[in-house]
Amino acid sequence: MPVYARKVTSQHPIFQDRETVITTREITTRIPVPDSITLCDGCNKNIPEGYLVYLGKRELKANQPYDYYCADCLKSYFKGAIITE
């Protein structure tokens, strides 16, 4: 099954209004993530533009990405990825 990738910038709506949630039995803590922080899931660097990776055509159509990678990590981990608009 082919893997698809879509190039986006850190301004893409998917990166807006995010937060990390930490929950224990007693407390839930919400930590806002700045919109300008977009980390590559391969090398963990903050990248201004990268690729949303989709594991199939159905996920691409539904805009349900698997992860976000810089160009180098995309080439390393998903050599045959089909780049889409």
Domain layout of the chain by residue ranges: 4-84
Q: In the structure encoding, which two tokens stand for residue 5, read together?
A: 């990738």
Confidence band for 29, pLDDT divided at 50, 70 and 90: very high
CA 17 and chain centroid, separation:
14
- The reported pLDDT for the residue numbered 66 is 96
For residue 1, the model assigns a pLDDT of: 78
Res 85: pLDDT: 81
Cα–Cα distances in angstroms (integers) from residue 41 to residues 23, 28, 44, 63, in the given order: 23, 25, 6, 18
